[in-house]
């Protein structure tokens, strides 16, 4: 309602109607109120002004106020993407595009570039993390599976090898076996020497069945005539005509794994079974 004449004490109704993009703020002058539709009694001359301002509400939640959309852009306040090109009205305003003119080709180009950048960035990030995983103490699932699989596979193969008698021994195992056997033999000899137990009975039996022999002497193939007697046996004197170590005393042994006529050589500190002729 506007200016006019009214009867004394008449009831007057005031209605403030804002234009598009504007909102009612309140009444000023001889009447103050924030109600856009209000009534009061006329009992004097009144000068009243309706106050309006920009509508700062955002009906479609696109980041632009209703004032901006209706007054500046003339875009749809109920649609965040007025032209339907995939860019919101706010994005078009920010980049200088027209929210009422679709930019579909530009949107497709941008989406393609973003997708490529995301893929490249993701791959680059993975490669960086993989190359520098020690920095972050990270392992990929593939690496963990390989690690566990390698460990399990190695153990399974070892167990199979150990439990399968048809599998040949490795050179390392054979060497270890030979070394252990030699150590066992030497240990048995040292124990016999320490205990003073001789092999006199064995020597006597050997002399009876291994002719030719004579008192205190017996012939050992490959070694020639060896000398001993009951006072010094099982020590045996070896002349060593082949000079593989010079004349020396040997210790006659009889072990399960040793051949008949095997001796412990003090000079070489090992078991000898036969000297080449």
* Cα 165 from Cα 57, distance rounded (Å): 87
pLDDT at residue 134, rounded to an integer: 60
pLDDT at residue 266, rounded to an integer: 80
Per-residue model confidence as pLDDT tens digits over 137-166: 666 666 666 666 666 776 776 676 666 666
- On the question of pLDDT at 196 being above 60, the answer is no
**Closest among 181, 192, 178, 210 to 251, alpha carbons compared:** 192
Q: How confident is the model at residue 86 (pLDDT cuts 50, 70, 90)?
A: confident
* Cα 135 from Cα 132, distance rounded (Å): 6
- On the question of pLDDT at 213 being above 60, the answer is no
CB within 8 Å of 87: residues ≥ 6 apart: 81, 95, 97, 99, 103, 107
Q: Is the pTM of this model over 0.85?
A: no
pLDDT at residue 180, rounded to an integer: 77
Identify the DSSP state of 218: E
More confident residue, 119 or 177: 119
Q: How confident is the model at residue 211 (pLDDT cuts 50, 70, 90)?
A: very low
**Closest among 202, 194, 190, 175 to 271, alpha carbons compared:** 190
All structural domains of the chain with their residue ranges: 10-95, 196-272
Long-range CB contact pairs, 215-222, < 8 A, 24+: 220/261, 221/261, 221/274, 222/274, 222/275, 222/276, 222/277
- On the question of pLDDT at 135 being above 50, the answer is yes
* Cα 229 from Cα 207, distance rounded (Å): 12
Residue ranges of alpha helices (H) inside 132-269 are: 133-136, 141-163, 171-195, 200-209
**Closest among 65, 71, 103 to 87, alpha carbons compared:** 103
- The predicted model gives 83-108 an average pLDDT of 83
């Amino acid at each position: 309602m506007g200016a006019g004449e009214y009867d004394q004490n008449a009831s007057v109704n005031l209605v403030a109607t804002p234009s598009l993009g504007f909102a009612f703020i309140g009444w000023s002058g001889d009447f103050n109120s924030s109600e856009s539709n209000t009534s009061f009694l006329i009992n004097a001359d009144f000068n009243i002004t309706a106050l309006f301002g920009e509508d700062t509400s955002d009906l479609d939640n696109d980041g632009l106020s209703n004032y901006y959309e209706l007054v500046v852009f003339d875009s749809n306040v109920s649609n965040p993407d007025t032209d339907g090109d995939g860019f919101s009205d706010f994005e078009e305003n920010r980049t200088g595009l027209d929210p009422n003119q679709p930019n579909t080709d530009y949107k497709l180009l941008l989406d393609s570039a973003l997708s490529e950048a995301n893929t490249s960035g993701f791959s680059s990030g993975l490669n960086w993390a993989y190359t520098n995983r020690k920095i972050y103490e990270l392992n990929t699932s593939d690496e963990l599976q390989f690690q566990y699989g390698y460990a399990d596979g190695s153990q399974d193969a070892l167990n199979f090898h150990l439990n399968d008698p048809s599998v040949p021994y490795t050179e390392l195992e054979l060497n270890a076996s030979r070394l252990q056997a030699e150590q066992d033999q030497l240990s048995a000899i040292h124990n016999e020497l320490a205990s003073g137990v001789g092999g006199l009975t064995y020597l006597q039996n050997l002399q009876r069945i291994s002719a030719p022999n004579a008192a205190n002497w017996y012939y050992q193939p490959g070694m020639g005539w060896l000398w001993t007697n009951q006072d010094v046996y099982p020590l045996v004197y070896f002349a060593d005509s082949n000079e593989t170590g010079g004349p020396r005393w040997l210790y006659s042994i009889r072990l399960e794994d040793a051949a008949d006529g095997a001796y412990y050589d003090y000079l070489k500190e090992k078991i000898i079974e036969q000297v080449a002729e």
